[in-house]
Structure 1
């Protein structure tokens, strides 16, 4: 088994060395998400290769499994890496933040971009921004789209729940109008239950009034 561990370790080291890069937004060195996916896929693939091979061929099985797993795992990471880069380019200076979490991409759309107070009708700026997002989503069709509306704590829970859901549906409907399949989307309202800032200040409440779009690879 030591021999198989060395094979996986060697492959992992090669992937890490080839996957390190400088984040253009922070200036920090990081391991690309492509590499992370490849490492996970390689480790899993190596294990499967060992278990599915005869004793005399386990070294070969581990290498084949690790390589195959790395390609599959890295492919998902690369797909999301490229999609993230396109979204960052399209949304530059739009007021919408783009955050990466593993293989998921989160778009945070604040209310000053999307909706007026107590309204679920998209502003022209929101429509323009989502049209840009739709262009990328059309290109990357193997991505699931989770749309969540959020409000601040002003008003009753019932009002906030309805408003947040209507806003999420407005975003979903606009994307559908732009040619994105409804089967890829799930929209719901979280009301004021998931604040990202304090509701005791105007600034905090403004941050909590938002729509978040999470993009994840379709497995």
Structure 2
């Protein structure tokens, strides 16, 4: 299921208002609160699906010849900011065949088992990512949740959606404009490893942040769903 996040900013503000200012887990709770509330606002969002473009989104475009260097600079900044996380194998940054960037974040570094509220220790990681995304603002950000195959398929689908929404809501809380973000859950459908081993299942539980450039004359392509992200 593919979801737009046009109203995440308003939901996030309401969630923040409902959390005590001195609560050390305030931002993590915001992610959970928005994840729970987002279903109520999705019906009010408008998307021109025939063009794959959010109606009213105002994201600047990049001239075609400059796209490669723009995305290369963004990748280098992400790699520099996320050195520790990469060393711990908490995430990996890769370039997709279409020139988009993918930041794949392991669920163990982000969520407790069967939960979709962000771990407190994950907040620093996503804050670093958000800082880069704010500055490289000529992109559309797709947050895609994945699970392993343990449990019912419907449960896994819903969990993957809620985890994607929680990450997206935190990015919005960090100042990334909501109109640049789309979320999607792909459940257990796109594994990156076999599900018949603990290590394979661990690798399959993840959230992918796909960063797609908005190219002049081809703006709609940035809003189209990312290609399959499994093996």
**Match for residue 191 of structure 2?**
195
Per the TM alignment, residue 125 of structure 1 is displaced from its structure 2 partner at its CA by: 2.3
Secondary structure of the structure 1 residue equivalent to 2:83: coil
**Match for residue 69 of structure 2?**
78
Deviations 1:176-216 (A, max 9, x none): 00011111111011010100001000000000000000001
**Match for residue 92 of structure 2?**
97
- Could you tell me which runs of 5 or more consecutive residues in structure 1 were left unpaired when the two chains were aligned: 1-70
Deviations 1:75-129 (A, max 9, x none): 1111101000000011112121000124210000001211111010111222111
What CA RMSD, in Å, does the superposition of the two structures yield over aligned residues? 1.3
**Match for residue 182 of structure 2?**
186
- Could you tell me which runs of 5 or more consecutive residues in structure 2 were left unpaired when the two chains were aligned: 1-61, 216-231
Which protein is richer in helix relative to its size?
1
Higher relative contact order (CA 8 A, sep 6+): 2
- Structural mapping, 1:58-207, within 5 Å: 72-94=63-85, 95-101=90-96, 102-207=98-203
Residues of 2 paired with 1:204 and 1:190: CA distance?
A: 17
Secondary structure of the structure 2 residue equivalent to 1:124: coil
Q: Which has the larger Rg?
A: 1
* 1:215 paired to 2:211: yes
Number of corresponding residues: 149
Deviations 1:112-151 (A, max 9, x none): 2111110101112221111000000111000110010000
Per the TM alignment, residue 72 of structure 1 is displaced from its structure 2 partner at its CA by: 4.2
Residues of 2 paired with 1:72 and 1:122: CA distance?
A: 36
Residues of 1 paired with 2:63 and 2:184: CA distance?
A: 32
Residues of 2 paired with 1:213 and 1:207: CA distance?
A: 15
Secondary structure of the structure 1 residue equivalent to 2:121: helix
The normalised TM-score by structure 2 is 0.63
Residues of 2 paired with 1:121 and 1:128: CA distance?
A: 14
